[in-house]
Amino acid sequence: MPVRRDGDTAAVDDQHHKIQLIMSLRNQGIRDTRVLSAMERIPREHFVPHMFAEQAYADQSLPIECGQTISQPYVVGYMTEKLKIDDRCKVLEVGTGSGYQTAILSKLCRRVYTVERYRTLLRDAEERFKTLRLTNITAIVADGMKGWAQQAPFDRIIVTAAAKQMPEDLLDQLKVGGIMILPLENEEGDQELVKVTRHEEDFEAEVLLPVRFVPLVAGIAKEL
């Protein structure tokens, strides 16, 4: 049976593990100080299920409600860094999940618009945003594959579930000069993280690294 930590001990342990994680991310090549600072300021322990609280700062993905996951911190940092966000950016996130990636983005950009297909996940994420006083996040329950046309265009788009093919609606909602990062299934059925840049006449795609995400599914989830 795991030993339960009191509040003070847990806080000290979390801070120690957070510092170790940030150092590890730097050693793995995440060098953008704004991204690292955002990850240091967001308490990941608030975004993981209680049973996994002691693993909050392990560099690994963890299960959350509705059969989804909270991404590995390295992948969060890497995707965020590749987006090249500044404080003027309007960002669309597809797949709110626990809200951890959303919270990181909120520390870096003007406003985050986030879409989640599970009402349960979105409700819990919004409670976390409220607790942490993150006021530049707007969230809805919707079909993430369709993006958020009413708020388009976006300077940046980040997708946190793997698509089988490039989502046309999301491409249409990206500004010229904008960047989208998403996991995409290749012909062999493996997933690759892809960076898409929109130019005046076309799109440029760059494969970044192999990843493993839950699938991007159309529609709004039916929950019991």
3-state SS of the chain?
Answer: CCCCCCHHHHHHHHHHHHHHHHHHHHHCCCCCHHHHHHHHHCCHHHHCCHHHHHHCCCCCCEECHHHCEECCHHHHHHHHHHHCCCCCCEEEEECCCCCHHHHHHHCCCCEEEEEECCHHHHHHHHHHHHHCCCCCEEEEECCHHHCCHHHCCEEEEEECCEECCCCHHHHHCEEEEEEEEEEEECCCCCEEEEEEEECCCCEEEEEEEEECCCECCCCCCCCC
Is 98 in the active site? Answer: no
Of 24, 37, 71, 98, which one is the catalytic site residue?
Answer: 71
User: What are the catalytic residues?
Assistant: 71
